Homo-oligomer: A and B are copies of this chain.
Amino acid sequence: MSIFGKLSFKDQAFKLREDSILDATTGILATKGFDLMTMDDVANLIGISKPSLYKHFKSKEDLVGSTMVRLLDGASYQLDQLPETLSAKEKLSALLEWALRVRLEGGMPFLPSTSAHVREMLMRNLKYVGKVLKLNAKLEKLVQQAQKKDELNADLPSDVILYSYYARTCDPAVEYLQRFSKMNKDDIVKHMLQVCFDGLKNK
């Protein structure tokens, strides 16, 4: 009994440390990106040594994969939490809003759009691929529902809408607005959502 308790506590502590490693990784990935993030960066940020870091994650690839998996879990959770009363388009909008706010708080985009290198690496991660496919299927369905109900443009191919939707989650305009305009976060989100669904042209 006391052994179980001890193990459980140890496991908890281990899990907590892993979470803090993932937090650090998320922040560094958001600012420096994959290629420039070093294992030293991560270890130094949380005050452990590099070998200790490797006790938790067996490689940089593993560490980043785990980080992305956690992010995907967050997105899926958000999507599942949305009230059923929302329309398909409203759900898509709400999830995009969540993703934009995550980024504005120092998180990172959950699409590895930036680099073919990173994309290929993640595609070797079965856990990641599984979760991506599952989330993708849900979003694909939402897009098609929204098109059927004329909430989204039914003249556009579904994949054009879906890929453009993904692209908006990592739209660099967000960083530019955050850096160069005096706009607050709420206004940035509001405008990004409007641009996504209504476009740049006059209504």
Contact = CB atoms under 8 A, between A and B. Distances in A.
Interface residues of A, number: 49
A197 B199 contact: yes
Contact of A200 (B32, B161, B181): B161
Contacts of A159: 176-177, 180-181
Interface string A159-184: 11101111100111101110011010
A184 B157 CA distance: 13
Question: Which among A172, A192, A194, A197 has the greatest number of chain B C-beta atoms within 10 A?
Answer: A172
Secondary structure dominating the interface of A: helix
A152 interface: yes
Interface in A132-166: 150-154, 156-157, 159-161, 163-166
Contacts of A17: none
A27 interface: no
A115 B33 contact: yes
Given A159-B177, A177-B160, A181-B159, A203 B153 contact: yes
A36 interface: yes
Question: Which among A115, A152, A199 has the greatest number of chain B C-beta atoms within 10 A?
Answer: A199
A136 to B, nearest CB: 11
Contacts of A161: 195, 200
A167 B201 CA distance: 16
Contacts of A113: 172, 175-176
Interface of A: 31-33, 35-36, 89, 111, 113-117, 150-154, 156-157, 159-161, 163-167, 170-173, 175-177, 180-181, 183, 191-192, 194-203
The 8 closest A-B pairs by CB, nearest first: A199-B199, A113-B172, A35-B35, A163-B173, A163-B176, A198-B199, A167-B173, A197-B201
Given A153-B199, A154-B202, A157-B191, 6 more contacts: A114-B172, A156-B191, A159-B177, A164-B171, A164-B192, A197-B200
